[in-house]
Structure 1
Amino acid sequence: MKRRERTRQLIELGGLIVKAGIVELTDDDRAAIFGLLVEAAARLRSDETGTQLTLWRRRGKRAFADTIDND
Structure 2
Amino acid sequence: MKRRERTRQLIELGGLVAKAGLVELTDDDRAVLFGVMVEAAATLQGEHRDEVLTLWRRRGRRAFADSDTEL
- Please identify which structure carries the higher helix content: 1
Alpha-carbon separation, structure 2, partners of 1:62 and 1:47 = 25
Taking every aligned residue pair, what percent have the same amino acid on both sides? 71
The root-mean-square deviation of aligned C-alpha atoms, in Å, is: 1.3
In the alignment, structure 1 residue 14 sits paired with structure 2 residue 8: no
Q: TM-score, normalised by structure 1?
A: 0.92
Alpha-carbon separation, structure 2, partners of 1:25 and 1:62 = 20
Counterpart in the other structure of 1:46: 46
Paired positions, count = 69
Alpha-carbon separation, structure 2, partners of 1:49 and 1:59 = 15
Counterpart in the other structure of 1:34: 34
Q: Is the 8 A contact 2:23 2:29 kept in 1?
A: yes
Shift of 1:15: 0.1
Q: Which residues of structure 2 form unaligned runs of 5+?
A: none
Q: Which residues of structure 1 form unaligned runs of 5+?
A: none
Shift of 1:49: 5.0
Ranges of 4+ aligned residues in structure 1 off by more than 3 Å: none
Amino acid at match of 1:29: D
Shift of 1:48: 4.4
